[in-house]
Structure formats: structure tokens, C-alpha cells
Amino acid sequence: MSIAIKKQIDLLEHATSGNDMAKVVLSRVLGLYGKCFEKINSSDLVDLAALSDTELAAEVGIKIAEMSVFSDVEETSSLKERTEGELYFLNLLSNHESGLDTKQVASFLGGISTAAVGKQRKNGQIFYLKVAGKYYHPCFQFNEENVITDSFKRVIKILSSKDQMASLEFLISEMETFDGSVKSIYEILRGENQPRFTYEQIEKLANRIDDLTK
């Protein structure tokens, strides 16, 4: 990779840092540019290189639009559905304490390695979502001491074999606690101040997610 390209990538990473929605949109834009440049021949590249930034943006935009118009309708529909799903994931996360990427959660857990985080994901020890090829670990699973409670761990283990979207929606759903208050399931699990049967009820519901989503 050339220094010039790496510099632009660094600028893009800085511009979208901390903004998950921007990263999803940027991922789509870069994907479109990648497909566009696959179809541009060498002589066209020479002509494009001679244009001003404004002219270049307009010309490449036209080529991308033309490519999109003549692309397969079914493929475009599939991409749209996938992207809407990604945005839905990220919107839910942003409304429920957001999430950490692999490097951030490694630091959050006392500076463990990213490989250790990956092992926790594989073993069903930490709840995560995979969106657009990137891992997100919801902050709501950690208590004030940055620890996942035993009650939460048991549920995470159950959810590790379930659909991620259904699992996220389950954890942010609300239920009545022993004292009559209504809280989201993740708030109950990270608190560990409820009678044991409350947690057992949550575990039973988690096991039934596949049935509940049919």
C-alpha cells in the first residue's frame, strides 16, 4: 500500500472514530468505489488523474451511478436488506449504552490481548454482535466494576448458540422484578440483587428464544 493511500485511510478512520453509523456508511461507499475501479480501464484512469478534485468526484459519482443502475436487482435488494439490518443493530446499541470493539474491550478488561477476547467470544463468555464484519461488545453486560456477573455469564452462554439479533432484542426487553419494578433484562442480570428464581426465569426464556422467534 502506498504512503498516499495509507494517509487517506488514516484520515477516514479518524473522521469516523466513535461514530458507528458513519463507519457503516463509509464501508458502503468504499465498497462502491472498489467495484467502480474494477471496471475502469488504464486509459480512463489516466484521464481521471488529470481532473480537479471536484471534477473527479463528479465523474466517479456518475460511473458508480451507472454501475448501480445496471447491476442485478436481486443483489441490490439483498445489499439494501443487509445494510438496513446493520443500521438496526447499531441503532439498538446506541440506545442501550453503546458497544466496544475488540481492542476497546481488551483494554476495558484490564489490558488483556485481543486474542483472549476472541477466545471469550468463541467460548460463549462474552456477548457480542458481528456487524459488517466487525465485532461489537455491548457495554450493558458489564457492571460498575467492569465485570460480567455470574448470572449474566450463564445467560450469555445460552445465547451463544442463538440468533444474535433475537438475543440482543431479548436482553433489552423488559420484565417485572420481584419488587414490582420494571427493568430491562440486562439491568437485572448485571445487578445480582434479585431472588434466584428471577434469574432462573430469564435463563428459561433465553433457552426458548428460537421458539419465540418462529
Per-residue model confidence (pLDDT) at position 202: 93
Q: Where are the alpha helices (DSSP H) in the chain?
A: 3-15, 20-38, 42-49, 53-69, 73-95, 102-108, 114-122, 150-159, 164-172, 185-191, 196-207, 209-212
Q: Is the pLDDT of residue 171 over 90?
A: yes
Starting at the earlier edge strand, list the strands of the sheet with 99-100: 99-100, 134-138, 129-131
Rounded-to-10 torsion of CA 121, 124, 130, 133: 40
Rounded-to-10 torsion of CA 141, 153, 143, 89: 0
Q: pLDDT band at 3, cuts 50/70/90? A: low
For the chain, give the percent of residues with pLDDT over 90: 30
Q: Is the pLDDT of residue 208 over 80?
A: yes
Q: Is the pLDDT of residue 151 over 60?
A: yes
Q: What is the pLDDT of residues 36-78, one digit of tens each?
A: 777 677 777 777 778 787 777 777 776 665 555 444 444 455 5
Per-residue model confidence (pLDDT) at position 73: 42
Q: Which three cell numbers stand for residue 98?
A: 453503546
Q: pLDDT band at 153, cuts 50/70/90? A: very high
User: What is the rounded average pLDDT for all residues in the chain?
Assistant: 80
Q: What is the pLDDT of residues 70-119, one digit of tens each?
A: 444 444 555 565 667 777 777 788 788 788 889 889 988 888 999 999 99
Q: Is the pLDDT of residue 11 over 80?
A: no
Per-residue model confidence (pLDDT) at position 123: 94
State the Cα–Cα distance between residues 143 and 153, nearest whole angstrom: 12
Per-residue model confidence (pLDDT) at position 80: 60
- Residue 180 DSSP one-character state: S
For the chain, give the percent of residues with pLDDT over 70: 79
Does 209 or 51 have the greater pLDDT score? 209
Q: pLDDT band at 180, cuts 50/70/90? A: confident
Q: 3-state class of 142 per DSSP?
A: coil
